[in-house]
């Protein structure tokens, strides 16, 4: 749970998924994040369906999966606990390195004129 006071520092990165484009969801995103939306409908443009550029795709899902499924979770509650713990385990150093990786990938995208480049890494 994120304290409401911290929400003002959070940005929403929209990946262009169809469920996120429903007007009710778009309104919730605008109300919650105001001008801090990256991607579809946001003030910061971002290429849709771009796994090379999306930290959720190139980092987070693998990071969480590795921690959650190191051994099979015996119960649904244990699965939930592991997901929560995995999300909380990202240290400031990990997040700093992730930020630098995003910056590097933006530069690679520019050099490759927007083409898919992850296979080149």
Residue 109 in contact with residue 117, Cβ under 8 Å? yes
Q: What is the mean pLDDT of residues 101-109?
A: 88
pTM summary value:
0.60
- pLDDT band for position 67 (50/70/90)? very high
Structure tokens at 27: 């309104």
Residues 6+ apart with CB under 8 A from 87: 64
For residue 82, what pLDDT band results from cuts at 50, 70 and 90?
very high
**Which of 33-47, 68-82, 92-106 holds the top average pLDDT?**
68-82
Give the residue-averaged pLDDT of 3-24: 80
Quote the pLDDT of residue 121: 52
Average pLDDT over residues 76-84: 97
Q: Are 86 and 64 in contact (CB under 8 A)?
A: yes
Residue 14 is predicted with a pLDDT of 79
| CB neighbourhood size of 14 (10 A) | 20
């Amino acid at each position: 749970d994120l304290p409401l006071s911290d929400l003002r520092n959070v940005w929403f990165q929209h990946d262009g998924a169809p469920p996120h484009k429903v007007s009710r969801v778009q309104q919730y995103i605008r109300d919650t994040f105001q001008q801090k939306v990256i991607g579809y409908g946001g003030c910061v443009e971002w290429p849709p369906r771009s796994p090379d550029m999306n930290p959720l795709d190139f980092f987070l899902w693998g990071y969480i999966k590795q921690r959650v499924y190191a051994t099979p979770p015996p119960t649904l509650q244990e699965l939930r606990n592991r997901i929560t713990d995995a999300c909380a385990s990202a240290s400031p150093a990990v997040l700093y390195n992730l930020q630098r990786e995003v910056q590097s990938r933006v530069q690679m995208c520019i050099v490759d004129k927007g083409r898919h480049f992850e296979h080149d890494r």
